[in-house]
Amino acid sequence: MKAIIICLIVMFGLGLLYAETNPLQDYFANPTAQSFATVWAFYTDKLAEDSTQINVRITMATLANIEANRLAQSILPGADTLSAGSKFQFANLLLAQNKYEDAIDLYEDLNLVYPTWSCPWRHKGEALYSLRRYKDAEMSLKQAIATNIEHYDAYVWMAKTQFQLKKYKAALTNLETALSLNPEAEESSDEAISDESIRALHEELLKRTGRKK
């Protein structure tokens, strides 16, 4: 609902409420793949006319977010029937949409059936971390590392989690283990954790453990 309100505000700004035919209103009235394609084409044409229209870009970004959420909601009731790969991919989408509880449910299904698959453990750890369930996140990340001792992101998220738990020495050990690994070696689709944030965490852990003043 908040996203729709944002879109309407943008639409007011563009003066589109006064048009005789308004594909944005049509999409809100009946959100389907077809109505989305129509409104997307409408704004794509507007952007082609003038690529400097920031409001058009904002509207398109908001529309993309609304449609992604609509599609995710349409998939969710049948998520249990998805193949393992599709279920993992869908759980990652839910994670990206901050739908942590739904994502965790799917990761746990995968943990039960594929307990030696490191990635669902790692992503579940991230979701639990985002919910500030740090002890549960630590347990999940331990499994991610146990099932793949070269899982770079698992070590980084473990360090982040243990920092929150004030386990600074353990966090530093895990982060430095990550820094000894090749983050590109795993060929995963994990979203990259910025080098800057990793360096900042490393600096803070060095201070917290007394290795740097």
For residue 207 the two structure tokens come to 């201070």
The whole-number pLDDT of residue 211 equals 84
| Nearest to 63, CA basis, from 43, 91, 89 | 43
Q: Write the pLDDT tens digit of every residue in 39-51.
A: 999 999 999 999 9
Q: Quick one: tokens of 25? A: 């209103």
Q: Just give the CATH number of 82-208.
A: 1.25.40.10
> Who's near 101: CB < 8 A, 6+ residues apart?
131
Report, as ranges of residue numbers, the positions in the chain whose pLDDT lies below 50: 1, 5, 9, 12-13, 17-18
Which residue type, as a one-letter code, is found at position 144?
A
52-90 residues labelled b (16+ CB within 10 A) or e (exposed): eeeebebbbebbeebbeeeebeeeeeebeebeeeebbeb
How does pLDDT run across 109-139, given as a tens digit for each residue?
999 999 999 999 999 999 999 999 999 999 9
d(CA 15, CA 2): 20
Q: Are 17 and 26 in contact (CB under 8 A)?
A: no
Supply the pLDDT for residue 57: 93
Angle subtended at Cα 13 by Cα 8 and Cα 17, rounded to the nearest 5 degrees:
60
Domain locations in the chain as residue ranges: 2-75, 82-208
